[in-house]
């Protein structure tokens, strides 16, 4: 028996999550993908990759039995998932976890509700990935990494062992973080950066080695 599932958003990440749902179902029928819910009225009633856009997130009330994943978060607004989750105000147990079947996840790794791991993600040993985390393809989490809620990882990110990533942080595609390092809350690490130390909260770092560029343009009133 499959479980109804609604994806919030219909952009790139939501489309990728839908493909991950299809891959899960190909191995073991698990989800009935009901459709997308998107804030953009121009998309309402359309089909995106064969999946119907049912309306805005307010239409979630029409699907009281559906599980939910919020699939938003581009680099210019990587805090949107938190804002949508706050707006939906539904119990945490309604959020689904979607893990592509090609992922290699150790038995002692914990993955939180509302998190999506796309194809080829690796978590080697004792990794902690909290709720509502977006992980693009081919990301590697090494032993004892701790990843906080609402963080985002671009494709091909590599975290060495014992790295801590704070709430809402965004780590750009191809970035590498040295063992024992930390990325602060709502920090942004640029594409291809090599992080050799600690990135403070609410800062943007980029380069090889990574260095401070500016403060992140994140609303400071965000609550977690």
Read off the pLDDT of residues 207-218 as tens digits, 9 standing for 90 and up: 999 999 999 999
Query: 152 - beta bridge partners?
Result: 134, 170
Rounded to whole angstroms, the Cα distance separating 151 from 162 reads: 17
Model pLDDT for residues 128-165, shown as the tens digit of each residue: 999 999 999 999 999 999 999 999 999 999 999 999 99
Structure tokens at 114: 């509302």
pLDDT of residue 223: 58
- Reported pTM: 0.96
End-to-end CA distance of the chain: 34
Nearest to residue 72, comparing CAs of 112, 12, 139, 136?
12
Q: Is residue 23 pLDDT above 80, yes or no?
A: yes
Residue 220's pLDDT band (cuts 50, 70, 90): confident
Report the chain's mean pLDDT, rounded to a whole number.
96
* Greatest pairwise CA separation for the chain in angstroms: 51
Model pLDDT for residues 76-91, shown as the tens digit of each residue: 999 999 999 999 999 9
Structure tokens at 16: 């990728």
Q: Half-sphere exposure of 183 toward its Cβ, with a 13 Å CA cutoff?
A: 37
Strands 51-52 and 47-48: antiparallel
Domains defined for the chain, CATH in brackets = 3-94 (3.40.50.20), 98-214 (2.160.10.10)
Taking the CB of residue 2, how many other CB atoms lie within 10 A of it? 11
Rounded to whole angstroms, the Cα distance separating 168 from 149 reads: 6
Taking the CB of residue 213, how many other CB atoms lie within 10 A of it? 13
Show the CA angle centred on residue 43, arms to residues 41 and 46, nearest 5°. Answer: 135
Structure tokens at 196: 């050799």
pLDDT of residue 101: 98
Residue 219's pLDDT band (cuts 50, 70, 90): confident
Residue whose pair of structure tokens reads 């990759």 in the numeric block? 49
Q: Helix, strand, coil shares of the chain as percentages rounded to 5? A: 20, 30, 50
């Amino acid at each position: 028996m499959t479980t109804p599932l609604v994806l919030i958003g219909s952009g790139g990440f939501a489309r990728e999550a839908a493909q991950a749902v299809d891959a899960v179902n190909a191995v073991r029928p698990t989800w009935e993908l009901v459709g997308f819910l998107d804030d953009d009225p121009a998309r309402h009633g359309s089909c995106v990759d064969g999946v119907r856009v049912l309306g805005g997130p307010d239409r979630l009330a029409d699907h009281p039995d559906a599980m939910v994943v919020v699939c938003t978060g581009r680099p210019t607004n990587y805090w949107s998932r938190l804002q949508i989750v706050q707006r939906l105000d539904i119990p945490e147990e309604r959020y689904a976890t979607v893990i592509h079947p090609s992922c290699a996840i150790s038995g002692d790794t914990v993955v939180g509700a509302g998190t999506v791991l796309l194809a080829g993600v690796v978590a080697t040993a004792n990794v902690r990935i909290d709720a509502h985390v977006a992980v693009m393809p081919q990301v590697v989490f090494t032993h004892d990494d701790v990843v906080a809620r609402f963080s985002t990882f671009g494709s091909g990110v590599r975290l060495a062992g014992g790295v801590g990533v704070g709430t809402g942080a965004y780590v750009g595609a191809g970035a590498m973080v040295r063992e024992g390092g930390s990325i602060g809350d709502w920090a942004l690490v640029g594409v291809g950066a090599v992080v050799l130390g600690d990135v403070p909260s609410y800062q943007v770092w980029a380069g090889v080695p990574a260095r401070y560029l500016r403060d992140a343009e994140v609303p400071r009133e965000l609550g977690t």
